């Protein structure tokens, strides 16, 4: 984000990071309320895919079109994970009869990637 090759995206990236941090804090509270402990030990393949996608963004940082293509891929992958995670939390809270928690979840979790407009900035930055 601080690299000169990303100046055109810095504002959207800062907003995305801020919103993501807020969602992570909300998710931690929700995990506590549902008496769940997130376990990342089974996610090594997914983490490897994310790391490779991020590596490609860095690798092509100086070539805007390729950078944006790889960054779009990376961001779309994260967006899908984010949506899946929010859906899972909603389903768990609903199935465990946490009505108030379900309403709160539905209102407070923000789909970060879409809300931050990073996808829009990337597709226009060409």
User: What's the 3-state SS for the chain?
Assistant: CCCHHHHHHHHHHHHHHHHHHHHHHHHHHHHHHCCCCCCCHHHHHHHHHHHHHHHHHHHCCCCHHHHHHHHHHHHHHHHHHHHHHHHHHHHHHHHCCCHHHHHHHHHHCCCHHHHCCHHHHHHHHC
- The per-residue pLDDT for 106 is 60
Q: Taking the CA of residue 96 as centre, how many other CA atoms within 13 Å lie in the half-sphere pointing to its CB?
A: 16
- The per-residue pLDDT for 107 is 62
Has this prediction a pTM greater than 0.85?
Answer: no
Taking each helix axis from N to C end, the angle separating 118-125 and 10-33, rounded to the nearest 10 degrees, works out to 150
List the one residue out of 82, 41, 73 whose CA is nearest residue 54.
Answer: 73
- The per-residue pLDDT for 102 is 63
Give me the average pLDDT of each 10-residue run along the chain (126 residues): 71 80 77 76 84 88 87 82 76 68 62 63 62
């Amino acid at each position: 984000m601080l690299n000169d090759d990303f100046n055109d995206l810095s504002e959207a990236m800062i907003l995305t990071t801020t919103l993501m941090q807020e969602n992570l804090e909300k998710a931690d509270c929700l995990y506590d309320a549902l008496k769940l402990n997130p376990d990342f030990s089974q996610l090594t393949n997914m983490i490897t895919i994310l790391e490779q996608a991020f590596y490609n963004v860095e690798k092509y940082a100086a070539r805007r079109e390729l950078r944006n293509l790889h960054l779009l891929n990376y961001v779309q992958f994260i967006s899908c994970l984010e949506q899946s995670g929010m859906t899972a939390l909603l389903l768990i809270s609903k199935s465990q009869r946490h009505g108030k928690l379900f309403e709160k979840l539905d209102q407070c979790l923000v789909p970060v990637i879409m809300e931050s407009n990073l996808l829009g900035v990337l597709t226009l930055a060409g």
